[in-house]
């Protein structure tokens, strides 16, 4: 594993590169690694971004966190980051790893001699694991019309209960609405175990997914919210000084279940009656679907009281297609 390191202004700030593959033109494809060390020993926090190539907000949040830490200093511990885990997807504005069309976030913990995604996942996962982190924050983006929220993976089982409970504590410190994915069906829960955060919980490393607004392009309001959430956690871990600029309240105790019900049962054009961040009551209209002639063919209503996390980017309705993301009471 070849790495190159260089100082960037701040005494404890370094960057390096990990080789991931050689191109057909013999060029070297690499992952960028960022690292900043505090003045004293302490916790190890990882930030990871762009596991899906079209989700760019996390990259900018990581850059801003390091910019601020380089200016104000890190009191204790180490912060590391993979700002772009899927550089091939990023360059092609693709969620997947473009050549193989694999979802990198369903390929962990990876396999050294596996598929293209599994090999990349193995490199990332092994590197993170070897640093023995206290917490890994995987930064994602959701639909364009969505609010920032924190995702907790399904419970990994009693054997890994401590890491799971620690993750819940960190989730409360972020200050976003907290969404538990426990209510997903069995197939989806099995898939989630192959996400970066789900795989880390399986080896007793606390991990969370932060969904920080929409994808494709940066939203400065969401960037600021993401940076503040991370600094809330840094304060909780006592990795930064209290004298740094205040951030918003870090307490958020209520945990909601994730739901994308109801789904469409017909085809047509969707007209939404909701906005992200809105609270809706059971039976309230979420969206109406019209056919090509403008006739109302379906009305989607909330099955329970819920927080609207976001809604689909497209106005196209097709049978079985999710169109809303909701946080519902447990």
In a domain, 323, yes or no: yes
In a domain, 272, yes or no: yes
pTM of the predicted structure, to 2 decimals: 0.91
Give the whole-angstrom CA distance, residue 68 versus residue 113: 39
Which backbone phi and psi does 85 adopt, to 5 degrees? -80, -25
Q: What is the pLDDT of residue 214?
A: 79
In a domain, 269, yes or no: yes
Same domain, 220 and 288: no
User: Of 255, 275, 297, which marks where a domain is finished?
Assistant: 255
Could you tell me the residue range of the domain that residue 309 belongs to?
Answer: 260-329
Q: What is the pLDDT of residue 241?
A: 82
Same domain, 274 and 246: no
Instruction: Check which CATH number belongs to the domain holding 35 and give it.
Output: 3.40.630.10
Same domain, 176 and 82: yes
Same domain, 295 and 316: yes
Over residues 133-190, the pLDDT tens digits come to 999 999 999 998 899 999 999 988 899 999 999 999 999 999 999 999 876 666 676 7
Looking at the DSSP bridge assignments, the partners of residue 179 are 151, 256
pLDDT greater than 70 at residue 11: no
Same domain, 226 and 273: no
Q: What is the pLDDT of residue 1?
A: 43
DSSP state of 264: P
Same domain, 251 and 266: no
User: Of 238, 255, 272, which marks where a domain is finished?
Assistant: 255
Same domain, 204 and 286: no
Same domain, 271 and 234: no
Lowest mean pLDDT segment, chosen from 6-20, 55-69, 304-318: 6-20
pLDDT greater than 60 at residue 266: yes
Same domain, 127 and 45: yes
Percent of the chain with pLDDT over 70: 91
Banded pLDDT at 252 (limits 50, 70, 90): low
Q: What is the pLDDT of residue 12?
A: 80
Banded pLDDT at 9 (limits 50, 70, 90): very low
In a domain, 1, yes or no: no
Banded pLDDT at 243 (limits 50, 70, 90): low
Mean pLDDT, residues 71-100 taken together: 94
Q: Are 42 and 238 in contact (CB under 8 A)?
A: yes
User: Which of these, 310, 305, 255, lies nearest to 287 by C-alpha position?
Assistant: 310
Q: What is the pLDDT of residue 330?
A: 79
Q: Domains in the chain: how many in total?
A: 2
Instruction: Check which CATH number belongs to the domain holding 278 and give it.
Output: 2.40.50.100
Q: What is the pLDDT of residue 267?
A: 97
Q: What is the pLDDT of residue 3?
A: 46
Mean of the per-residue pLDDT values for the chain?
Answer: 90
Same domain, 66 and 170: yes
């Amino acid at each position: 594993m070849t790495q190159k390191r260089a100082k960037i202004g701040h005494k404890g700030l370094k960057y390096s590169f990990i080789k991931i593959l050689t191109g057909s033109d013999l060029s070297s494809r690499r992952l960028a690694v960022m690292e900043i060390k505090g003045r004293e020993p302490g916790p190890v926090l990882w930030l990871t971004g762009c596991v899906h190539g079209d989700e760019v907000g996390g990259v900018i949040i990581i850059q801003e966190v390091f910019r601020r830490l380089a200016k104000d200093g890190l009191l204790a511990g180490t912060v590391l980051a993979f700002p772009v885990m899927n550089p091939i997807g990023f360059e092609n504005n693709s969620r997947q790893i473009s050549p193989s069309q694999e979802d990198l976030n369903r390929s962990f913990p990876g396999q050294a001699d596996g598929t293209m995604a599994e090999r990349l996942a193995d490199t990332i996962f092994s590197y993170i694991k070897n640093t023995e982190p206290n917490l890994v924050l995987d930064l994602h983006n959701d639909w364009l019309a969505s609010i920032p929220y924190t995702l907790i993976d399904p419970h990994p089982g009693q054997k890994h209960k401590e890491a799971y409970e620690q993750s819940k504590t960190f989730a409360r410190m972020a200050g976003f609405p907290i969404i538990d994915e426990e209510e997903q069906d069995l197939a989806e829960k099995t898939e989630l175990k192959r996400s970066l955060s789900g795989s880390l919980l399986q080896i007793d490393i606390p991990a969370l997914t932060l969904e920080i607004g929409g994808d494709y392009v940066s939203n400065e309001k969401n960037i600021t919210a993401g940076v503040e959430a991370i600094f809330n956690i840094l304060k909780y871990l006592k990795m930064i000084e209290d004298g740094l600029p205040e951030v918003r309240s870090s307490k958020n105790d209520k945990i909601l279940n994730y739901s994308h019900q109801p789904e469409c049962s017909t085809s047509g054009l969707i007209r939404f009656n909701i906005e992200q961040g809105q609270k809706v009551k059971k039976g309230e209209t979420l969206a109406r679907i019209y056919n090509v002639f403008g006739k109302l063919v379906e009305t989607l209503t909330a099955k329970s009281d819920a927080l609207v996390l976001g809604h689909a980017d497209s106005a196209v309705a097709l049978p079985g297609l999710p169109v809303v993301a909701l946080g519902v009471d447990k």
